[in-house]
Structure formats: C-alpha cells, structure tokens
Chains A and B, each alone.
Chain A
C-alpha cells in the first residue's frame, strides 16, 4: 500500500486547518532539564538569582525549548508528548517509519521559567518524494503566545518524514 501511496485531494484539503489551542508550560525544572540535555553549563539556564541579576524574569529557556505541552492521559501522544487535539488536520498516513526532517524557530521574545504559552498549529505543506523509497514530508507551523500578555513569542516550523 505504501508503495502506491499518493497525496489525495482530501489530504491537501487539510493544509491550513488550524488546531485548537494547547498550553505549554515553561518551569524552572523543565528549563534545567533541557539545559542538562544539551550539555550547557551557562548559569542563565540554571540559577534564578543569576538570571534575575542579568535582567530576566527567571532562568532563560535554552534555544530550541519552547515549553512542554501539558500532558493529560489519553489526550497526548505517549511517545512524543504532543497533544492529540479534537479538530485540526487529520492525515491517514500508511507509512510506519518516522523521522524528524527539520526545525526552524523564529523568536520574538525571550522565554523564561514561569511562562505559560498557548500554542496553535496548522498543517503547512505536504510533499511526496516519489523516486526510490516513497517518503512523505509533513510540515506543520506552530505559533506560541504568552498566555498572560497574549504576545507572540515564537513561531516554529517542523517537518516530519514518514516512510
């Protein structure tokens, strides 16, 4: 089935369909955990007093970290943690293999521990590589707003590869 896969009009109709909003939390613990994960030793990611002395509200999220989606059993993917929201794009993809294809992030403000962000996303693009083993490139665009101020703090473009 996968060898005969084609992007259907029904799938293309999902492009642009926006998801319901979901909250992403940025906490002191999650910022430190992410910073440990990348191997940073910059105190701006660990030491609240130091971060405040530099003019920030709290410790600063490392680049690439835009909070952790609130996890509700049965409503989030157990492997990847992302929310499985009602509404939003639905794709019936027959491929079992999955790889990350790329990430691009644009920042409009600094993200700090204590921030709660509200994310919405939409399917931005579908591309099929037809030569060789078929690969479906799925690109989603997400917008993150600070829950308190309503200001857009980041936009992210994520591509996944299904094969």
Chain B
C-alpha cells in the first residue's frame, strides 16, 4: 500500500475501510493468540446460559481490527501512538464487521505530524458497535 503523507491528509478524510467476517475458527485462533479463552466466544451452550443469543466476537478482537486498520493506513513510516474503543454493541460470527476511520484533527507539535481520528466498527445495518479514537503520526513529504 502506498505511503500516506501528512500533507495529503485533511479533516473529514476517511481511511480505507477494512472488512472483516469472523468464522468461529478465527475466534479460536484469536483466543489462542491473546490467551482469552472465555467460553462465550466458542461454546454456544455456555454463551446461551449467560443470557446471550449465541456466540459473540471478542471486544478486544474488534479493537485489534481497528489497530490493523490504522497500521495498514499509517504505512511503514507512520506510527500509531494511541488508539482505543468502547464495546457498545455485540457482533456475531459469520457477520460482516466494517472497520472505519475518519480524520478529525491534524496538527504539528515538537517536529511531529499528528493526525487524530474517530474510529469504529460497524454492523451491516450501520450501527456502530465499537466507537473510539486514535492518534497517528505521519511522515512529511519534505
């Protein structure tokens, strides 16, 4: 992916979207990677006993998806300084999760080029399930 430069970014720009769709296998892979083996993510009976309709996607996996969205956009010369989100809605396996971000502020400080963004995951009906923010530094063309 081509490197994005600070001079090319303006408030209101949307970063390239990242579409995810988690199989139950992916949830197990991520459980192994993260060490989070909470059964609501792979044991449907357990999930339903806790009052859920069925399996749900890990909140922290959606957070990591937003990290991937930012990593891919910032490129090899950019740095993600801070990012995070709240888990406001549940996402299910085998359902599209759209990861999105929009630039809210650009500024320079201490010789660095800062870009602030709103980031979120979105269900197919447009509902935002993991709204958050991020701070990224980007290289300059000069």
Contact = CB atoms under 8 A, between A and B. Distances in A.
Contact of A34 (B20, B30, B59): B30
B94 interface: no
Interface residues of B, number: 38
Interface string A16-28: 0000000000000
Contacts of B20: 39
B34 interface: yes
A126 B8 CA distance: 42
Interface string B118-135: 000000000000001000
A34 B31 CA distance: 9
B35 to A, nearest CB: 3
Majority secondary structure of chain A interface residues (helix, strand, loop or mixed): mixed
Nearest to A158: B60
B37 A81 contact: yes
Nearest to A161: B87
A112 to B, nearest CB: 14
Interface in B28-72: 29-39, 50-51, 58-61, 63-65, 67-68, 70-72
B70 A63 contact: yes
A102 B86 contact: yes
Interface of B: 20, 26, 29-39, 50-51, 58-61, 63-65, 67-68, 70-72, 76, 79-87, 132
Given A35-B33, A37-B31, A103-B60, 5 more contacts: A42-B72, A64-B63, A65-B64, A78-B37, A80-B36
Interface of A: 30, 33-40, 42, 44, 54, 62-65, 68-69, 71, 78-81, 96-107, 157, 159
